Structure 1
Amino acid sequence: MSNASPMSPSALSRPFTDGVYCPLITPFKPDTEAIDFDALQAQVVRLASARMGIVVLGTNGEASHLSDTERAAVIRATREALDSNGFTQTPILAGTGTGSAKETIRLSIEAREAGADYVIIIPPGYFSFAVGRDLPSLKKFFIQVLDASPLPVMIYNFPGAASGIDFDSDFLIDLAEHQNCFGAKLTCASVGKGQRLALHTQSEAYKARHPRPFFVMPGFSDILLPALVSHASGCITGTGNIIPKTIVKLYDTAVSALTTGDAAQLAAARALQDLVAEADWVVVKAGIGGTKYAMDAYVQEGLGGVPRAPLPHASTAIRAMLATGLKRAVAYENSL
């Protein structure tokens, strides 16, 4: 395995840190499906103000529905919103994964030029029928990208969006040894996988080999507390689009409880996790169209917009489910 590091840790002006991050939706205008940049920037500032980390061009961001020009424009608009509102040190994690190593590298280069600080890359799922069980080919894909990306890379393990490709902890531990790999997002809901990866990357031996820390980030907030118990670094959660302050408070309370051993803090963290688990599952079932509807209905009209075809808009049944399932969480969010 190559250990090339195109960008030294000291060159990073905006360090990635432990915490909770949100993969932003990309709001599209109802009439044209054009990107609503005003709504995008309003959401960026809202999340940053809540101390939620920023991830763009992921699954929730419908990156596969965007042109290369639009991808770069989303990153530029995000950086502009952050900088002009005093969040100059807030990093941007941008999705750049696509079907080939060559194009993924190109998108990663363009992401850096547009203002991204880190990239997150999903396995190439289109040819899953050919490479889905061919671990040497998948490893070669990631090594090529890790060697050439000008930005540190987070591996995005999401079987549901990668035609079933699901990496085990052995595979992820192997990739974690590359000097340009700084983390993994596990949207496979495996706390045990994350724990094994964290045990390896948080060991003193690993730290001696790697000047940059490694981040293990579950892709759901309904397992945030148990994941933190199992050495996770935080989470990356689409539900943060709707209830960011609640999820940040859950993280803060859980970290405090685990650090101090305070029983009252742990009880408070468990109560918050109950609330978030309920909301997270509702949002997952509602999908991207439902997330956008919930943002418009319960946060601010026009903030979510619509999905691009063929993703469906929120149906009457989904709207009813959201009204019931998010009632407690939205009320709590509004109380903070």
Structure 2
Amino acid sequence: MANTSTARPFTNGVYCPLITPFKPETEELDYEALTTQVVRLAKVHMGIVLLGTNGEANHLSDEERSKVISISRDALDKNGFTNIPLLVGTGTGSAKETIKLTTQAKAAGADYAIVISPGYFSFAMGRDKAALKRFFIDVLDKSPLPVMIYNFPGAASGIDFDSDFLIDLSEHQNCFGAKLTCAGIGKGHRLSAHTQSEAYKKRHPTPFFVMPGFSDYLLPAVVSRASGCITGTGNIIPKTIVKLYEASVKAVSSGSKEDLDKALELQDIVSDADWVIIKAGIGGTKYALDKFVQPGLGGVPRAPLPLVGEEIKALVDNGMKRVIEFENSL
């Protein structure tokens, strides 16, 4: 069933795991706000990731998941972005259910799947690498979409893959990448070196993408052969992060100190902003969208995630001033 071909190729660059906006009072999905955000990001060349951690995928029903995908695909197509792929989170507690969700995601318009480690039973099998490998191989074998491995210990009860494990999975023909929300730059470098080698390319017809899960070390990651990043801060400052990525690629390509200095200046700004958004969490990200981009664009989280409090509001208000001024100047 595995199928690594797609009409919309995945490319190097920066991608944003979109928040899923819910309406205050009812916590119902705000599809108008979602499509506004999808198109806004596409216009500034920020890639689209749906139903990830920021997207509160675990808070959605199967029907809601499919609708998030289908209306996002429709919004992109209607606005002339027919070639932009959708990377969609489909990981859940079992291989069987993950395969089902991936099949449904493809039917709704997804091009690629990103699958997190099954963390609920980590107390029973979190250190059982053979069991974890069986999970991913089963998914990779049967997924109708190419799969990106999502390594996020914080959202998987501490399960953290090393580079040996990821390199092993990278050899599967239906595995097209890894998102590393573990800040493991050495891990990412080893994985990139393996998958960018001429020997690997001869065995695999399509590229493999190594994507850090943060933008606060995007420049060092690009130096270390990363393909870009997938960053929740892209919800707020997409133009700035795209500019940082472009500057990082230019600095690495040219070897010029002047280009490196420019990239470092951008990285300084983004690193500060990324840390604010990481501390602010999903509620703080939604608050920042409402305050700095468009009222109602962020909405509220679904319970049990808390509504944003005054302390987080103050953190966002004060911590994002410099980067918002820069974003608005672009």
TM-score, reference length from structure 2: 0.99
Distance 1:284 1:313 in 2: 16
Q: Which amino acid aligns with 1:206?
A: Y
State how 1:156-171 maps to structure 2 within 5 Å. Answer: 156-171=150-165
Are 2:202 and 1:205 equivalent residues in the alignment?
no
Distance between the aligned counterparts of 2:271 and 2:257, measured in 1?
A: 21
Query: CA–CA distance in 2 between the matches of 1:39 and 1:264?
Result: 40
Give the aligned partner of residue 278 of structure 1: 272
Deviations, residues 284-324 of structure 1 (Å, cap 9, x unaligned): 00000000000000110000000000101111011001111
Structure-2 separation of matches of 1:246 and 1:216? 21
Q: Deviations over 1:149-202 (max 9, x none)?
A: 000000000000000000000000000000000000000001000000000000
Structure 2 CA distance for partners of 1:8 and 1:315, relative to 1, 3 Å: closer
Q: 124, 127, 133: which one pairs with 1:130?
A: 124
Task: Encode CA deviations 1:96-139: one digit per residue, 9 max, x unaligned.
Answer: 00000000000000000000000000000000101100000000
Root mean square deviation, CA, Å: 0.7
SS at match of 1:301: coil
Match of 1:250 in 2: 244
Q: Deviations over 1:6-42 (max 9, x none)?
A: 2143xx1100000000000000000210100000000
Partner of residue 98, structure 2: 104
Query: Which position in structure 1 is the counterpart of 2:253?
Result: 259
Q: Indicate which of 220, 223, 228 corresponds to 2:222.
A: 228
Structure 1 residue runs of 5 or longer lacking an equivalent are: none
- Cα distance in 2 for residues equivalent to 1:335 and 1:30: 31
AA of the residue aligned to 1:62: E
Q: Aligned partners of 2:189, 2:74: CA distance in 1, in Å?
A: 36
| Contact 2:19/2:55, CA 8 A, preserved across alignment | yes
In 2: Cα distance, 1:206 partner to 1:66 partner? 38
By how many angstroms is 1:262 displaced?
2.1
2:3 pairs with 1:7 = yes
Alignment-derived partner of residue 325 in structure 1: 319
Taking the aligned partners of 1:170 and 1:44, their CA distance within structure 2 comes to 35
2: CA distance between counterparts of 1:318 and 1:253? 31
Alignment of structure 1 residues 73-92 onto 2, 5 Å: 73-92=67-86
Q: Which amino acid aligns with 1:159?
A: P
Is 1:180 aligned to 2:186, yes or no?
no
Please give the secondary structure, in 1, of the residue aligned with 2:244: helix
Equivalence for 1:216: 210
> 2:247, 2:206 → 1: CA distance?
26
Hey, what's the Cα distance between the residues in 2 that align with 1:102 and 1:45? Answer: 33
One-letter code of the match for 1:229?
V
3-state SS of paired residue (2:23): coil
Tell me whether 1:52 sits opposite 2:46 in the alignment: yes
2:20 aligned residue (7, 22, 26): 26
Q: Deviations over 1:189-243 (max 9, x none)?
A: 0100000000000000000000010000000000100000000000000000000
1:190 counterpart = 2:171: no
Q: Does 1:17 pair with 2:7?
A: no
| Contact kept in structure 1, 2:214 and 2:229, CA below 8 Å | yes
Structure 2 contact 290–296 (Cα < 8 Å) conserved: yes
Q: Is 1:66 the counterpart of 2:63 in the alignment?
A: no
Number of aligned positions between the proteins: 330
Letter matched to residue 3 of structure 2:
M
Tell me the distance in 1 between the aligned counterparts of 2:34 and 2:166: 32
Q: Distance in 2 between matches of 1:21 and 1:315?
A: 28
**After the TM superposition, which parts of structure 1 deviate over 3 Å for at least 4 consecutive aligned residues?**
none
SS at match of 1:287: helix
Secondary structure of 2:3's counterpart equals coil
Structure 2 contact 4–146 (Cα < 8 Å) conserved = no
> TM-score, length-normalised on structure 1?
0.97
Partners of 1:141 and 1:37 in 2: how far apart?
Answer: 33
Unaligned runs of 5+ in 2: none
State the identity %: 70
Whole-angstrom CA distance in 1 between matches of 2:55 and 2:276:
19
Partner Cα separation in structure 2 for residue 19 and residue 86 of structure 1? 20
Measure the CA separation in 1 of the matches of 2:172 and 2:13.
23
**1:121 aligned onto 2:108:** no
| Contact 2:22–2:29 (Cα < 8 Å) also in 1 | yes
Separation of aligned partners in 2, 1:8 and 1:311: 36
Hey, what's the Cα distance between the residues in 1 that align with 2:196 and 2:293?
Answer: 38
Contact 2:21–2:299 (8 Å) recurs in 1: yes
Counterpart residue type for residue 217 of structure 1: M
